[in-house]
Amino acid sequence: MSSQQTGALVVALSAALGLSYVALLYLPAWDAPFQFDSEMIAQNYPTLQTAAALWEGMRANPRRMLSLLSFAADFHLFGLSSLAFRLTNLALHLANTLIVFLLLQMLLRQRPAALGPAAAVLPAAVIGALFFALHPIQTQAVLLIWQRVELLACFFFLCSVLCWWGARRRAERDGPRWRGGQGALRAAALLTMVAAMLSKETAAVLPVVLGMLEWQGWRGSALRPAARLRLLAPFAALLPLVPVLVILTPEVDNFGGMPLLATLSDFERGVGAMRGIDYLLTQSRVVLTYLATVAFPVGQHLDRAVGLSHSFLEWRVLFSVGVLGGLALALWRLERRLPLMRAGVLWILLTLSVTSSIIPIWDPMFEYRMYPAMAGVALMLASVVRAAQRRLRSRPGRCLALSLLVIWMAALSLGTWRRATVWASPLTLYGESVRRSPANQRARVNYGLALSQAGCHDKALHGLLLAVRLNPLNVKATLQTGFALRRLRQPDRALRFFEHAMRLDPTLSAPRVNRGEISLQKGLLNRAIAEFDEALLRLPSNASAHNNLGLALIRVGRVEGGARHLEIAAPRLWEALFNLARLYAARGEAERARAYYERTLRHPSLPPERRATLPNPLAAAPEPAAR
């Protein structure tokens, strides 16, 4: 084996060990349940079950069709397992780390100040990639299952940059051409660019990032300006793709449940209608908070409460703009000493520009939005390390630098491990948000739900009542308070909260479903049927309403109509299948009852602990399962 082959093998083994180490840091949260926006996967899994439903979901929201396909692949391979979904996220994070490492190597070798043997840039590329992989701010994108959209978009984003850079190096050497290896790389860059844009809308800035790298990375190029522009033209032609998709589907996001832009009042946050200029002023503070968290990853939590800024003269805005402007100017002037520093700064600004500009979106701040920008931070760090390599000549200096670096990476690793332990339980995750943002109503509502699921119903009710007092217009808090009162067997008091929720938003179906369930429990069958019918007028796909309406109709003797409603609810609810099995067992149709019972046991929404204790309707007469 040659020395070159030995070196490549050592690098490959080191990469495998490093990626395994990163994966182990996330071990405490591997099997955490669906949480926060990840619950959309569990709530909307029928969209993933059949090709027809999947096609309908992608047709309704083509902007994220590749992300939806990835969720469907997980579902069909592993079922509704949060472990499988989360491990796929982790695998994407590790793949992104590897691509960042390769990209840093290529970028560092290209600049004249970094010329030298290939091994010379290896330490800087390794340190930059490890920083990308280990930083605690990355945990939110990795552990929020729905943020697969961010990870997948970043994966294709980085692949596109990597392929384009490889094609660009060949064009510098052989001249621009669309054949051979150069043409294949350029075509791959275009395809992965489209894939990134169809994973998440933030990838719309990718053509601009390539233009920035052309300007920053190929100064003194042998190609004429016109030839360089022709190289970028196919990529620039894709700039309108995301805006066109947003215009064609303005009212859907995620699974088609909410508008993308925050142009309406947001009762969940209580911030009212957001103007573009207010959002921009607020983002000056948000971006500074992002960068501060990158530098000092302390005080992190899932759901930060960010109040809107309404004036440029607000001291927090003035302070943020001054600090950001000073940092940008200082880093800009360091370009001669630290090659690629300016490219890293621009990378961060460009990748944040979609979510931190004048276009308002529902939540002003989430840490996962820094995920693609962290590649720019890694590029800046690699540039600093490369410069330090050239300056640190003495052995003691190199040892001291290496020791400090090891301590720093160990601190980042500890921070990531601690964040993973917080994510391991909804109680710790939402409880942390309540402690650090006491006025955040959504955090209080989610914490109340977590307490309720843990059986602490009294504590859950106390927190939910406080959330309602903080903002009586919070529909979700009002609804969840009603649910908590029902769990505490206070139906009459719960009815008041459901009625208040209906006054806040007459289009809601959930309050009517719960009013119907209370009527059903009291034996008021005709009133229950009327409530379920009203709920279905507002939301025809409400599976709980179909299930309970089916039960009510069966009790009043309308068996066939009840069975039809149970069949409609069956794809979403195991309770509906179980009720069908019970119905046919009572009618003496043993084969049909057995078939529905077996389907119930295989249903992905049936909890494993319930599967072991679910009675066979052919052997007993179980109570109907309401939902």
pLDDT of the residue at 46? 66
Rounded to an integer, what distance in angstroms lies between the CA atom of residue 321 and that of residue 334?
20
pTM of this prediction? 0.86
Strands (E), 101-237: none
Q: What is the mean pLDDT of residues 41-67?
A: 74
Rounded to an integer, what distance in angstroms lies between the CA atom of residue 28 and that of residue 568?
38
Residue 590: how many CA atoms within 13 Å on its side-chain side? 3
Q: What is the mean pLDDT of residues 74-97?
A: 90
* Packed helices 475-487 and 457-470: angle between N→C axes, nearest 10 degrees: 150
Asked whether the beta carbons of 421 and 28 are under 8 A apart, the reply is: yes
pLDDT greater than 60 at residue 189: yes
- Three-state SS sequence of 514-565: HHHHHHHHHCCHHHHHHHHHHHHHHCCCCHHHHHHHHHHHHHCCCHHHHHHH
Residue 131: which region, alpha, beta or left (left: phi > 0; alpha: psi -120 to 50)? Answer: alpha
- Three-state SS sequence of 478-527: HHHHHHHHHHCCCHHHHHHHHHHHHHHCCCCCHHHHHHHHHHHHHCCHHH
Q: What is the mean pLDDT of residues 20-27?
A: 91
Q: pLDDT tens, 198-210?
A: 999 889 999 999 9
Weakest-pLDDT range from 325-334, 376-385, 567-576: 325-334
Which H/E stretch holds residue 183? helix 180-197
Most confident of 138-152, 469-483, 518-532, 577-591: 138-152
Q: pLDDT tens, 409-434?
A: 999 999 999 999 999 999 999 999 99
Rounded to an integer, what distance in angstroms lies between the CA atom of residue 240 and that of residue 234?
12
Weakest-pLDDT range from 55-69, 160-174, 500-514: 55-69
Rounded to an integer, what distance in angstroms lies between the CA atom of residue 311 and that of residue 282?
9
Residue 176: how many CA atoms within 13 Å on its side-chain side? 16
**Token code pair at residue 212:** 């920035």
- 426 secondary structure, DSSP code: H
pLDDT greater than 60 at residue 507: yes
pLDDT greater than 80 at residue 71: yes
The CA-CA-CA angle for residues 354, 65, 240, to 5°, reads 45
- Kindly report the average pLDDT of the chain as a whole number: 84
pLDDT greater than 50 at residue 76: yes
pLDDT of the residue at 123? 87
Rounded to an integer, what distance in angstroms lies between the CA atom of residue 596 and that of residue 608?
18
pLDDT of the residue at 624? 52
Amino acid residing at 187: A
Rounded to an integer, what distance in angstroms lies between the CA atom of residue 93 and that of residue 151?
7
Distance of CA 488 to the CA centre of its chain: 34
Please tell me the CATH code under which domain 428-567 is placed: 1.25.40.10
Q: What is the mean pLDDT of residues 531-559?
A: 88
pLDDT of the residue at 116? 45
pLDDT of the residue at 287? 92
pLDDT of the residue at 625? 56
Asked whether the beta carbons of 137 and 52 are under 8 A apart, the reply is: no
For residue 388, name the pLDDT band (cuts at 50, 70, 90): confident
Q: What is the mean pLDDT of residues 229-248?
A: 87
Beta carbons within 8 Å of 405's beta carbon, 6+ residues apart? 127
Of residues 261 and 101, which shows the higher confidence score?
101
Torsion of CA 358, 364, 366, 370, to 10 degrees: 20
Nearest to 168 by CA among 227, 120, 116: 227
Q: What is the mean pLDDT of residues 504-513?
A: 86
pLDDT greater than 70 at residue 228: yes
Q: pLDDT tens, 389-402?
A: 877 777 777 788 88
Q: What is the mean pLDDT of residues 121-137?
A: 92
Burial class for 4, CB neighbours closer than 10 Å (0-12, 13-18, 19+): exposed
Percent of the chain, pLDDT > 70? 90
Of residues 1 and 96, which shows the higher confidence score?
96
Q: What is the gyration radius of the CA atoms in the chain, in angstroms?
A: 28
Q: DSSP readout, 35-77?
A: -GGGHHHHHTTHHHHSHHHHHHHHHH-GGGHHHHHHHHHHHHH
Q: pLDDT tens, 249-286?
A: 755 544 434 344 443 334 333 444 567 888 889 999 99
Torsion of CA 217, 220, 225, 229, to 10 degrees: -10
pLDDT of the residue at 6? 67
Total Cβ atoms within 10 A of residue 534: 17
Amino acid residing at 565: H
Weakest-pLDDT range from 214-218, 299-303, 391-395: 391-395
pLDDT of the residue at 112? 42
Long-range Cβ contact pairs of 192-195 (< 8 A, separation 24 or more): 192/156, 192/157, 192/159, 192/160, 192/163, 193/156, 193/157, 193/160, 193/235, 193/238, 194/238, 194/241, 195/66, 195/156
Total Cβ atoms within 10 A of residue 436: 16
pLDDT greater than 90 at residue 169: no
Q: What is the mean pLDDT of residues 296-305?
A: 89
Domain spans in the chain, listed from the N-terminal domain onward: 165-246, 428-567
Q: What is the mean pLDDT of residues 74-88?
A: 88
pLDDT of the residue at 266? 40
**Token code pair at residue 115:** 């010329």
What's the residue count for the chain?
627
pLDDT of the residue at 4? 64
Q: pLDDT tens, 35-50?
A: 887 777 766 666 676 6
